[in-house]
Amino acid sequence: MKIILQIILYITLFGINEGTDSRDGYVSQLLKSSNEFRASNRAKSLSYLQEALNYEDKIADTTLLDLYHTAGTIFKDQELYYIALNYFYKCLELQEKINPSESFLIFNNIGGCYFYLNNYVKAREFWGKSIKEFENYSKQYYDTSRKKEGSLIYNNLAVLEKTEGNNVKALNMLKEFKFNNEQLDDTLNIIMAYENIADIYINLCENDTAVDNLRRGIVLAEAIQSEYDLASLFVKLGNIYLEIQPNKDSALFYLQKSFELSNHHNFVDLKLSSSEKLVILFEQENNLEEALYYLHLAKSLSERAINEEIIKKVNQLELGFNEKIKQKERDIDQNKRENLFIIGIVLLLLFSTIISLMLKLQQSKAHKRTAENQLLAKQLEEKNKELTSNALQMLETSETLESTRHGLNKLKLNSSSRNEKTLSHIIANLKRGSQAFNKEEFENIFIKTEKDFYKKLLQKYPNLTKNEIRLCAFLKLNLASKEISAITKQSPHSIVVARSRLRKKLRIERSQSLTVFLNTL
């Protein structure tokens, strides 16, 4: 039975694992598709994610970790920061369980959500934790991709310091960020560092240094053909020459280059920014025709941006509402499963308690029966000893009386006639006394001791006579024919004959012992 249960358990577990592996593979594929469409088609990306979230409670921890991280990232892209935080916190809990050394990545994401929610205290707290964990990680591991991700923490903290007006701290953070990425040979992050460093130098009124950093960024962006970075650097450089360090020719050159790149690649935000700056530039040069052209264009782009922002906000509200409904449904399902699990545990504990109590009751009854049987056995042994002792005492008394009677008979032969009558009277009394054996008392004691024996004997052999029943009792006590003869005052031959008849009635073969047979009843 035990082996069968083990086989069933193994098959069940194997089936569960096989199903889990299959679901993990499917969820991983959904997450891969969701990430592929993050930039190009947010609606499609979210659709894949929501399908994956349906398997939240049916996948292994490693896949669940990836699910939570992807969900947090996508909702963060959608600017649904509270929902993103919910998934990042779940992700953090799992990450601490699976591999705490990589928790800095999740701390960084949580800090980012708080930053966009304008909670700079929380943002600083989590980015501070992230840097500390990242520095510990860097000392132990050399994983280039992880280090590239981790280095962004310095940039994020620099943006926070810049937002709060701490330009020197921000500059130090950005220099650290640039240095790390130079070591990792990550050109895109180096370009970002130059652009952000330029912003800090503008705040510090070091315009030439700002221009120098922007030019270095442009060289790198042209080298790797990063068109968006180029357009962004051009518009910033053009704005410096327009408003901070006036040089209209240079301003026109860089702003038009930014506009052309943005128009060609449909970088709407940069196209709008460069258009607005060109309007200002042409107005200053009194070129109203060009100013009006870019003004109409900027107005159109602005309206489009506003409409897109409105649609985006509506979509965000809709997504947030739908996510809350789905989260509520998942919570309800989870509560149902937890309640069923709790009920199952309670029933199992109740069943176990009942079984345990039943076993204890049976053990108690068994102990009680054992104790009672031991007591009965002891009492039976004492009664058997009493019966045997009485039988032997009666035999001894009978033999003594018989011997005395024979002695008195001999004395009678040699006595006078006057004493003969007295001796005859004494001999007669002795004979009556020897025959006064209280058979009823013996039987009463035996019946009390061996009541089951009498019951079974009469059930199986109802035709036995009273003398045969008495003979069975003597035989059960293992008395010999001579002893039975002395007690019953029957001749030994009569006892042998009675035993033979009893054997026939009981249908016992001659080879079988009567005493052994009677003790088996």
399 or 488: whose pLDDT is higher?
488
pLDDT tens by residue, 247-297: 999 999 999 999 999 999 999 899 999 999 999 999 998 998 898 998 898
- In this prediction, residue 403 carries a pLDDT of 66
Give the distance between the most distant pair of CA atoms in the chain: 187
- In this prediction, residue 248 carries a pLDDT of 92
- In this prediction, residue 10 carries a pLDDT of 41
- Tell me the CA distances in angstroms from 377 to 113, 383, 389, 477, one per residue in order: 84, 10, 18, 15
Q: Which of 465, 463, 450 is nearest to 518 (CA)?
A: 450
Q: Which of 87-96, 310-319, 405-414 has the highest mean pLDDT?
A: 87-96
For 462, other C-beta atoms within 10 Å of its C-beta total 7
How far out from the chain centre does Cα 124 lie? 36
pLDDT over 70 at 467, yes or no: yes
- In this prediction, residue 17 carries a pLDDT of 46
Q: Which long-range contacts (CB under 8 A, 24 or more apart) does 255-262 make?
A: 255/281, 257/231, 258/231, 258/232, 258/234, 261/227, 261/230, 261/231, 261/234, 262/231
Residue owning tokens 């460093």: 197
- In this prediction, residue 441 carries a pLDDT of 54
As a whole number, mean pLDDT of residues 409-432 equals 64
- In which band, very low, low, confident or very high, does the pLDDT at 418 lie, cut at 50, 70 and 90? low
Q: CA-to-CA distance for 304 and 156, rounded, in angstroms?
A: 30
- In which band, very low, low, confident or very high, does the pLDDT at 429 lie, cut at 50, 70 and 90? low
- In which band, very low, low, confident or very high, does the pLDDT at 369 lie, cut at 50, 70 and 90? confident
- In this prediction, residue 375 carries a pLDDT of 73
- In which band, very low, low, confident or very high, does the pLDDT at 321 lie, cut at 50, 70 and 90? low
pLDDT over 50 at 11, yes or no: no
Q: Are 152 and 129 in contact (CB under 8 A)?
A: no
- Tell me the CA distances in angstroms from 218 to 191, 231, 464, one per residue in order: 8, 9, 126
As a whole number, mean pLDDT of residues 443-449 equals 61
Amino acid at 512: Q
Q: CA-to-CA distance for 433 and 397, rounded, in angstroms?
A: 10
pTM of the entire predicted model:
0.59
pLDDT over 80 at 225, yes or no: yes
- In which band, very low, low, confident or very high, does the pLDDT at 154 lie, cut at 50, 70 and 90? very high
